[in-house]
Amino acid sequence: MAVTMADVAREAGVNKATVSRVLRGDPRISPTTRRNVWDVARRLGYEPNAVAKGLSSRRTDVVGVVLPALAHPWTGELLSGLERVLAKRGLSLLVLSSGVASGSRARALRLLKGRGVDGALWLDGLPDEEPDFPLVTLGRSLSRGSALVIDETRLARSLLALAGQEGIALFQGDEPLFPTLPLLLPEPPDRARALPLYDGLLPRPPLPARAVLCGRPEIAAFCNWISVPWPAFDIGVLAGRLLFNLIRGQGSRPGEIRLAPPLLLPRD
């Protein structure tokens, strides 16, 4: 027999109305009561009816994720960070790929609207029109959302500091993760002259002894180079927190958050 809301209420020592408010994320419920109800619901295996809950709360507890492609090596890490935050709050993910076909972004937006998502993380530029739900984007924000911005200026300063007078080579590959980075590294003068951008993932041998490789930490470790990994997990975590706050209209909701990618130094 399926577990009912009444079962959860009886086991948690509260009434059904309180259970309903907890499941809807009502901020008026105390943290202690909220934890108690959720613990009991999970232990009993209670699964609220999504349709009924959506009708009563005007929320579906579904968050959309729009990616340019699903095959990127960082996709799993990003979704893992996003789900870690949202699953604890009772939200599910709807993952879409916008692809490269004409009209694909518009189609992705129609799918999100049709599913009635409460908000979305959009990582493929910006949608063709502003949606009527909160949106977290990468790079630029819309009026109803927030943006996560990779601080490439700070990254460039760190690389120049590491270059010293000896210099260091920079590799990004054919699809650079940090597209404006080369523009932030002034040429010839002093230390910056030793930070040229090479096309392709790696040059032909002989390989330079000192180099920075963006996005491929396993290759950088093999070559004993500095690595600048794409902060996919951190993006997912921050996006999850932002989306939840935007959806619920609570907590910190900045228009922009800047992330500085980490630098993984080679072995001595």
Give the pLDDT confidence score for residue 56 in this predicted structure: 52
Residues 115 and 215 in one domain: no
Give the pLDDT confidence score for residue 200 in this predicted structure: 45
Residues 84 and 110 in one domain: yes
Residues 134 and 250 in one domain: yes
Residue 166 within any structural domain of the chain:
yes
Q: Domain residues for 182?
A: 152-228
Give the pLDDT confidence score for residue 199 in this predicted structure: 41
Number of domains composing the chain: 3
Give the pLDDT confidence score for residue 240 in this predicted structure: 94
Give the pLDDT confidence score for residue 220 in this predicted structure: 80
| Measured distance CA(180)–CA(201) in Å, rounded | 17
Q: Which residues of the chain have pLDDT under 70?
A: 1, 25, 27, 48-58, 99-102, 141-144, 164-167, 173-175, 186-205, 268
Give the pLDDT confidence score for residue 254 in this predicted structure: 79
Q: How far is CA 205 from CA 77, 193, 199, 202, in A?
A: 32, 21, 14, 9
Give the pLDDT confidence score for residue 127 in this predicted structure: 76
Q: Measured on CA atoms in the order 79, 216, 69, 128, is the torsion positive or negative?
A: positive
| Measured distance CA(90)–CA(240) in Å, rounded | 12
Give the pLDDT confidence score for residue 195 in this predicted structure: 38
Give the pLDDT confidence score for residue 171 in this predicted structure: 76
Give the pLDDT confidence score for residue 186 in this predicted structure: 59
Q: In sequence order, what DSSP letters do the residues of 83-151 get, joined into one string?
A: HHHHHTTT-EEEEEE--SSTTHHHHHHHHHHHHT-SEEEE-SS--SS--SS-EEEESS--TTEEEEEE-
Residues 117 and 238 in one domain: yes
Residue 264 within any structural domain of the chain:
no
Residues 109 and 39 in one domain: no
Give the pLDDT confidence score for residue 77 in this predicted structure: 92
Residue 113 within any structural domain of the chain:
yes
Residues 156 and 187 in one domain: yes
Q: Give the pTM.
A: 0.68
Residue 174 within any structural domain of the chain:
yes
Q: Which residue pairs, CB below 8 angstroms and at least 24 apart, start in 263-266? A: 263/158, 263/159, 263/162, 263/226, 263/227, 263/228, 264/217, 264/220, 264/221, 264/226, 264/227, 264/228, 264/229, 265/226, 266/220, 266/221, 266/224, 266/225, 266/226
